[in-house]
Structure 1
């Protein structure tokens, strides 16, 4: 999300995550780390997957210890799923003929491989 934050939806999500992380821990919460340092680190290198994983791990631990934060994080995640993290919309259409290979419909794919045998049409 950090590297895809170029669009307006991405900026809104990033701002909402900043607000959530910088919020006060729940009274009586044993959460020691807030994730603020990891958030700042990721903002400096948004394509760094290691920094993203570090932030994710801290946020999960904080959510386990802070019910208010957990509710806020769940709400943020729902917002992220609804808004997406990149510009534009996707419209998928398949028409005509028979598809003899895997067909993938969606948006923002990466790291996908198909290792099955290639089907050749019979004549």
Structure 2
């Protein structure tokens, strides 16, 4: 379990650095509510972006991208809605566009990493 947490933290740090290099502003990392956690909340210009970070050290169990099941997609939409509701309750409603992205991180045994950013990876109805 400890190893998984370390892998996840490393992947989230790499994802945040990737976003910052692309000009995104990081609003929050590991935002939690009753429904769960959003790995990264950022802005891309005028767009609010909810980012799910998925990491794998091998493809034995599939790629990081393949781990985003329909159930996980529904959960991400619920979490985004919860964050937006929280902003509204604080009197600061988000009136601009928003989307859900996935950043897939493949961590190699030699310590290198490949980061793949999938914009609009989860579509809300």
TM-score for both structures, normalised by structure 2: 0.29
Question: Greater share of helix residues, 1 or 2?
Answer: 1
TM-score for both structures, normalised by structure 1: 0.29
Question: Greater share of strand residues, 1 or 2?
Answer: 2
Relative contact order: is structure 1 or structure 2 higher (C-alpha 8 Å, sep ≥ 6)? 1
